[in-house]
Structure 1
Amino acid sequence: MLWTVSLCLLLAVSSSGVPLDRYSTKGQHKVLLISFDGFRWDYDRDVDTPNLDRMAKDGVKARYVTPPYLTITSPTHFTLLTGRYIENHGVIHNMWFNITTSEKLPYYATQFKNEWWDNGTLPIWITAQRQGLRAGSLHFPGTQSTYQGETQTVKDVEPRFYDYKNETKWRENVEKVMGTWFSEMDLDFVSLYFGEPDGTGHKYGPDSPERREMVKQVDRTVGFIRSLAERNGLADSLNIIITADHGMSNVYRNGLVKEITLSRIPGFSFRDIAFHLVDFGPSGMLLPKEGMLDKVYNALKGANPHLHVFKKEEMPERLHFANNNRILPIILFSDPGYVINGFLPVQFNTGEHGFDNEEMDMKPFFRAVGPVFQKNLEVGPFETVNIYPLMCHILGIKPDPNDGHLDATKHMLISTTEDLRQDIKSNIFVGLAAVAGFLVVVFIALVSFNAFKKETNDRSSEKSLPPGGKEETHQTAL
């Protein structure tokens, strides 16, 4: 009987700490991933941003994050969704292209080229749904496509001539996500995209007053997002992660520098090129004709101190931009401030991105707030491939193979999986200690009780003896 009671007590005590079902977060926490395209890590330094500041106090702020190379929109956004470097997920450019026909499609049309996106790597939308959750996406690059025949529970693709800077549209999109998708449809994960301040940074430059005004609009929107989360009763379940795909850098114009124009480089000729992607900022790729690879490479290598030329197999490993059949044999990128022109200078943007991801101007910002995140915590920089495993962990799903790791971000969380395991061990230890103490008390009580009982019986025996102190004996017949 004593051991039965003890076992029951052990079970009661060991489960009286944190319940085991708390350690499975699946279905308990929602995630909203927001991208403000082209929001550089330091854009809040020359603008009053009360809502972003409040979000940092209520949650986590990273000094900056490092996107993958190539630092342009579609490839870096697909890294956020998959946790894979660009060479591994295969969306290597904003533009779909065909090297046989020399056909190229611009950014918007590429969103509808399913084979460009669905090439073996699953975005988090599909991974979550395969594990019983519900996902949605609004305007995020890659939203339109299906992946292995599957699509999001709900999705919204922007129309062709969409005004990416319209603040009224922004608010309508936020109301749809918060009021309908999360509240009414009970989605678990949503990705939400805003096309600014990228467009303003391109047109006016990252140091312009127009860019600063757009950052204020972003800040107002962040405040609106958080207020709608409260209004729709999502504060206790929704975790909001806000980041961007890349930063922005000024382009040198008006005769400040000698522009890079490939056709003017001695020994180089477009007659030796079968296909090219240049005139799209500071990066480019070339496919030389048969037998012309070394000639083209040797003509360009060292031709301009601000132009970096690599054969695909010679690309620095840190850039993770070589091991994919879609990447062309020669890769070019320029130093910040310079763009790569083909036949003639045709680029007129004041700001550009697409530079080496180690350049500080290419670093985006990062904020996170919600029930799983610590408060008023500033963390050091990390790569954006690590955001995917973080989101999977919060959602309680098993991630697909990826290049990130939870170790890079778990210090942001109130309690990590390892902490929870330690809590379980601690609770079991406390339970065992309590049972041991209980058994000691019971043992002492039993010993004391038996001693008391024996003493009482002895006294009773003494009182029942006849006069003379000897016990009377009677003999009976056999």
Structure 2
Amino acid sequence: MRLQVFLVLLAATCAAGTPAKSREKRNKLLLVSFDGFRWDYDQDVDTPHLDQMALDGVKAKYITPPMLTMTAPSHFTTITGRWVEDHEVVHNLMFNTTTNLKVPYKQTLSRSEWWDNGILPLWITAQDQGLKTASFFFPGGAATYRGQKVNRVRLEEAGHPDANYTEWCQNIDTVMSWFSEEDFDLVTLYYGEPDNVGHAKGPETEDRKNIIQQIDRTIGYLRGAIKRHNLDDSLDVVITSDHGMTTVKKRPLVDEIILNKYLNLFELVSFEILDYGGFGVLTPRPGKEQEVFDALSNAPNLTVYKKHEIPESFHLGRSERLPPIVVVADLGFNLNSRFVVYINKGDHGFHNGEMDMKTIFRAFGPSFKKNFVSEPFDSIHIYPLLCKLLRIEPAPHNGSLEVTEAMLWSGGESQGARFSVVLLLPLLLSTAL
């Protein structure tokens, strides 16, 4: 009889340890992005909190952003799990090739017509399945999708300072209160550094090292805030970025790219975005596409593509929004249209295969293993992982959970559930015997 009772108790305990999906406890999820955090930025700086976080969670050697290493396209790939050619956020600037409209990045953040192209971001998919979501400065969070807005949005206005440590900590306090006091399930939190310092000062400078140390202190503050709000056992945290950064090659060391040297832009081109880092687009005037392509093929330190001939690995060629001619500069060479206007000392927008464009992935929380190092992977695969953590059905996407699920305890169950059977076995055995 005792053995029968033991077997019944053991079966019940095992069921509690690996419950059916409908009975599973859903953890909360915080997704944090530090814009422009290159994969190796923590290797020449003392970062005790990032180091401890890697021991307490998981770390990828690096991740590869989509082939359009800019803030808006890359963030939207992370939050949708779709390639740029599918979600159609093909630049930081909102533009219209017919009217020559160009909307600055910060203003683009609130323009739903730029973001709402039929692909649903994680916030909306989660809300449709009963979850409560929020976006704090995260690109795309302020838009409306199929008439639906994110439950709560904080929008970063133009001119907002990005490097105020006190405000960084206040933002964390706000987000923690959303989780602990208002029962939000998903919050995405964005910081504009170290991107700004990387642009203004360059990636190989003391200024960049200082901002990485500030980010490290912020991670320490975050972990303390999680404890203060009693969220250690219920909050998973994923920290990533959108792209890396490289030093811009400038005169007098090199000749900078000025495209008007190689073709008459006024006569041959009706629309252009060229003075914007290492990625440029052009719409030739009718009948001039081949002439534009041939002229740019003779320009140094860049590669020019006809859109329909872009390599499949770029995942850009099927875009309807992207103009017919795409120009990608060699690493470190910024594109200039008619004269040199670029003052940045660091930049991105270059080929995503370049190591300087790679970025970070870190995660910790009850769903994640400890001291686990992942091989590199593409950022497209973050989305299905986020859906797994939230225990929701993902929208159609281009990623694969198989790439990341080794980071999780038994494919997603929490560490507490994993060990519940082991801890109870001695008690059950003594009862049975």
**Corresponding residue SS for 1:17:** helix
Return the offset for 1:112: 1.7
Report the equivalent of 2:27.
29
The answer to whether the Cα contact below 8 Å between 1:268 and 1:299 also exists between their aligned partners in 2 is no
Question: Does 2:36 match 1:41?
Answer: no
Return the offset for 1:270: 3.0
Give the number of the structure whose alpha-carbon radius of gyration is greater: 1
Report the equivalent of 1:314.
309
**Corresponding residue SS for 1:308:** strand
In 2, Cα distance between equivalents of 1:176 and 1:418 = 28
Report the equivalent of 2:429.
none
The answer to whether the Cα contact below 8 Å between 1:26 and 1:397 also exists between their aligned partners in 2 is no
The answer to whether the Cα contact below 8 Å between 1:66 and 1:383 also exists between their aligned partners in 2 is yes
Encode CA deviations 1:138-186: one digit per residue, 9 max, x unaligned: 00011111111111221111232200111111111111001x2101111
**Residue range with higher mean Cα deviation, 14-23 or 402-411:** 14-23
Cα gap change, 1:371 to 1:338, in 2 (>3 Å): same
Report the equivalent of 1:200.
197
Return the offset for 1:8: 9.6
Report the equivalent of 1:406.
401
Report the equivalent of 2:164.
166
The answer to whether the Cα contact below 8 Å between 1:126 and 1:151 also exists between their aligned partners in 2 is yes
**Corresponding residue SS for 2:82:** coil
Report the equivalent of 2:353.
358
Return the offset for 1:13: 5.1
Return the offset for 1:414: 1.2
Return the offset for 1:258: 1.1
In 2, Cα distance between equivalents of 1:251 and 1:303 = 18
In 1, Cα distance between equivalents of 2:13 and 2:91 = 54
Q: List aligned pairs for 1:93-112, cutoff 5 A.
A: 93-112=91-110
Normalising by structure 2, report the TM-score: 0.92
Report the equivalent of 2:124.
126
AA at the equivalent of 2:255: K
Unaligned runs of 5+ in 1: 424-437, 439-478
Question: Does 2:296 match 1:300?
Answer: yes
Encode CA deviations 1:52-102: one digit per residue, 9 max, x unaligned: 000000000111000001000011001111011111111111011111211
Report the equivalent of 2:144.
146
The answer to whether the Cα contact below 8 Å between 1:99 and 1:275 also exists between their aligned partners in 2 is yes
**Corresponding residue SS for 1:31:** strand
- Which residue of the other structure, out of 360, 375, 392, is the alignment partner of 2:387? 392
In 2, Cα distance between equivalents of 1:26 and 1:361 = 41
In 1, Cα distance between equivalents of 2:45 and 2:20 = 41
**Corresponding residue SS for 1:18:** helix
Report the equivalent of 1:189.
186
Cα gap change, 1:329 to 1:31, in 2 (>3 Å): same
Unaligned runs of 5+ in 2: 419-431
Report the equivalent of 1:257.
254
**Corresponding residue SS for 1:233:** coil
Report the equivalent of 1:278.
274
**Corresponding residue SS for 1:333:** strand
- Which residue of the other structure, out of 320, 324, 327, is the alignment partner of 1:329? 324
Q: List aligned pairs for 1:226-245, cutoff 5 A.
A: 226-245=223-242
Report the equivalent of 2:70.
72
In 2, Cα distance between equivalents of 1:263 and 1:27 = 60
The answer to whether the Cα contact below 8 Å between 2:389 and 2:412 also exists between their aligned partners in 1 is no
AA at the equivalent of 1:314: E
Report the equivalent of 1:434.
none
Q: Once superposed, what is the RMSD of the aligned Cα atoms?
A: 2.4
Report the equivalent of 1:458.
none
In 2, Cα distance between equivalents of 1:91 and 1:118 = 9
Return the offset for 1:111: 1.0
Question: Does 2:368 match 1:373?
Answer: yes
**Corresponding residue SS for 1:212:** helix
In 2, Cα distance between equivalents of 1:80 and 1:269 = 35
**Residue range with higher mean Cα deviation, 230-239 or 26-35:** 26-35
Cα gap change, 1:222 to 1:189, in 2 (>3 Å): same
In 2, Cα distance between equivalents of 1:418 and 1:177 = 24
In 2, Cα distance between equivalents of 1:314 and 1:88 = 17
In 2, Cα distance between equivalents of 1:271 and 1:326 = 23
The answer to whether the Cα contact below 8 Å between 2:366 and 2:414 also exists between their aligned partners in 1 is no
The answer to whether the Cα contact below 8 Å between 1:27 and 1:395 also exists between their aligned partners in 2 is no
Return the offset for 1:124: 0.5
**Residue range with higher mean Cα deviation, 136-145 or 159-168:** 159-168
Return the offset for 1:14: 3.7
* Percent of pairs with identical residues: 46
**Corresponding residue SS for 1:32:** strand
Report the equivalent of 2:55.
57
In 1, Cα distance between equivalents of 2:158 and 2:414 = 48
The answer to whether the Cα contact below 8 Å between 1:27 and 1:133 also exists between their aligned partners in 2 is no
AA at the equivalent of 1:102: N
In 2, Cα distance between equivalents of 1:53 and 1:8 = 47
**Corresponding residue SS for 1:122:** coil
Count how many residue pairs are aligned between Structure 1 and Structure 2.
419
**Corresponding residue SS for 1:128:** helix
Report the equivalent of 2:214.
217
AA at the equivalent of 2:258: T
